[in-house]
Amino acid sequence: MHLKFKNKRISGILSILPTNEVNFIDEISNYNFSDKQSIKLGKIMGYGTRRIVDNGTTVSDLCTFGLNYLFDKKLLNKDSFQALILCTQSPDQFIPATSNIIAGNLLLNEDVICLDINQGCAGFEVGLMQAFMMLDTGVINKVVLLNADILSTKVSVKDRNSRPLIGDGASITIIEHTLEDESIDVFIKMDGSGALSLQIPAGGFKMPSSVETAILKEDVAGNLRSLDDLVMKGDQVFNFVQTKVPELFNEMLVKLNVNKSFFDYFFFHQPNKFMLEKLADKLEIGYEKMPNNICEKYGNGSNNTVPLTICDNLGGKVKSESFEVCLGGFGVGLTWSLIKCKLGNLDFCEIINYK
């Protein structure tokens, strides 16, 4: 599907990271693999350090902290926005929606619409799409998009494929109207037939968590995980990314009548270093235009990786300059999306630590 939007802009991005940093080497003894093999795998996949929350820290904690920071710094007025969107797959509770909890923490106006969206790897793009549609109502002038996950709490300590990758964090993106005649193009597709390629089998109403679902079992690759843990069918996800994303990418170029050189940057979701490098090779995009440094520094933060990549790689530069960018998310769902937009003259673009 191709959606077009006009007169809208991203005006600020803030990323919030836990201070607790874990190094891959420090956890290497947890895995049913030799140290030599683990280190070799780590170099290929980009295992390095990652940020994870302390026990008891939730998505609402990270988002509330970040919003209060913006309020205190006068970067955002509490009464200036009419919608609060949260994309997460690690809500505080089943009921109520975590966005409502955040609104309650901040004592937001009763007219602020609160909305939770269950989205992972493409959550930034899906959240932006929802924000653009809300702005199109003509009543809403500014939307706050929250992207946050703490999935490190749902990965087995004995899973060498996923444990070294998963990080936690949150991002806050402000979307509002602009008088500039700039178009934003959203390309999005979903394939529910592959939904179980990335999943946490137990914990919902279909299979409630129990003593039995917590039992660790070894898979064919030697990973130990329970039904309560995140599981990814790596080969299926890799093949999906290498086939479906290039197809959508080429469709976008044809429909927009542009070539790759039109874009200054490609800010894509970062599942791991290996997968993103292979995708860049497939698309014939230089690594310097597709940053790939988030996993090894902070971990794969699910729907938080794209805004974090922007903050980490552009930072203050995007406050005074403008860039034509392609934003890309792909994974859980299966969902994949690309957004063509201009990014520049932001009020803020920074990373802070959660305290």
Please choose, from the candidates 138, 62, 58, 66, the residue with its C-alpha nearest in 3D space to the C-alpha of residue 93: 58
Question: Which pairs count as long-range contacts for 287-296, CB under 8 Å and 24+ apart, including other chains?
Answer: 289/263, 289/264, 289/265, 290/265, 290/266, 291/265, 291/267, 292/46, 294/270, 295/45, 295/46, 295/47, 295/48, 295/50, 295/165, 295/167, 295/270, 295/271, 296/46, 296/47, 296/48, 296/49
Q: Is the pLDDT of residue 79 over 80?
A: yes
pLDDT digits (tens, 9 = 90+) for 220-236: 888 899 999 999 888 89
pLDDT of residue 161: 84
User: 33-42, 240-249, 330-339: lowest mean pLDDT where?
Assistant: 33-42
pLDDT digits (tens, 9 = 90+) for 14-66: 999 999 999 988 888 888 777 788 788 888 888 899 999 999 999 999 999 99
Residue whose pair of structure tokens reads 């809300």 in the numeric block:
134
Q: Is 270 left (phi over 0), alpha (psi -120 to 50) or beta?
A: beta
Q: What is the DSSP string of 101-117?
A: HHHHHHT--TTSEEEEE
CATH of the structural domain 1-355, one choice from 3.40.640.10, 3.30.1360.30, 3.40.47.10, 3.40.50.360: 3.40.47.10
Query: DSSP assignment, residue 185?
Result: E
pLDDT of residue 214: 96
Tell me whether the omega of the peptide bond preceding residue 145 falls within 30 degrees of 0, making it cis.
Answer: no
pLDDT of residue 31: 85
Distance CA 355, CA 348 (A): 20
Distance CA 230, CA 152 (A): 9
Residue 186: both structure tokens together: 């959203």
pLDDT digits (tens, 9 = 90+) for 247-298: 999 999 999 999 999 999 999 999 999 999 999 999 999 999 999 999 999 9
User: 8-12, 99-103, 218-222: lowest mean pLDDT where?
Assistant: 218-222
What is the signed CA dihedral for 114, 120, 122, 128, rounded to 10 degrees?
Answer: 10
Distance CA 2, CA 256 (A): 10
Q: How far is CA 207 from CA 202, 210, 231, in A?
A: 5, 9, 15
Domain locations in the chain as residue ranges: 1-355
Residue whose pair of structure tokens reads 């899906």 in the numeric block:
126
Backbone angles phi, psi at 124, to 5 degrees: -65, -45
Looking at this protein, which amino acid is placed at residue 286? G
pLDDT of residue 340: 98
